[in-house]
Amino acid sequence: MNQGMKVITLGMALMSSVAFAGNGTTAEHIEAATAAYKQVAKDTGYQWTVTVKTIKAAQKALDAGDDQSARQLAHEAMALVEATRTQAKVESDNWKMRLPK
């Protein structure tokens, strides 16, 4: 992931972490991100490759006992899910603007 993309993704993660703030266990946060991932895939018909990788990384960190990293990765995954949903929403109309005139 390049630097710019990291900044955007982490920014989104921080925003979404506000929504999570302190509620539930890290395992629950990972579960929530997984459920949101599945739901957005169902709603939009597609997904980002990085989202599932981030969820897996969160689970791996949790299994290794690194709760802080796991929680941060779960929030990052949730942010990626939200970004996917936003992209799908924006693009449902914007694609038409790319047609050659």
Partner 1 sequence: MKKIISQVAFGLLGLSVSAAVVAGPSEDRAAFQKFYENRFPDTPVADFQNGVYSILPAAREQWEAIEEFPPYELSIERGEEIYNKTFANGMSLASCFGDDGAVREKYPHWDKDRGMVVTMELAINECLEANGEKPLKYKKGAMADVSAFMSYNSRGQILNVEIPSDDPRALAAYEMGKEQWYTKRGQLNFACADCHMHTAGMLYRADTVSPGFGHATSWPVFRAKWQEMGTLHRRFAGCHNNIRANPYKAQGEEYRNLEYFVSYMSNGLEFNGPAARK
Contact set with partner 1 (CB under 8 A): 5, 41, 45-50, 52, 80, 83, 87, 91, 94-101
List the one residue out of 63, 99, 80 whose CA is nearest residue 15.
80
Token code pair at residue 53: 């990788």
Residues in CB range of 59: below 8 A, 6 or more apart: 30, 70
Q: Helix (H, G, I), strand (E, B), or coil: what is residue 66?
A: coil
Q: How far is the CB of 83 from partner 1 (least distance, A)?
A: 8
25/94 with CB nearer partner 1:
94
74/83 with CB nearer partner 1:
83
Q: How far is the CB of 7 from partner 1 (least distance, A)?
A: 13
45/65 with CB nearer partner 1:
45
Token code pair at residue 33: 């991100």
Please state, in angstroms and rounded to a whole number, the distance separating the CA atoms of residues 61 and 68: 9
Q: How far is the CB of 28 from partner 1 (least distance, A)?
A: 25
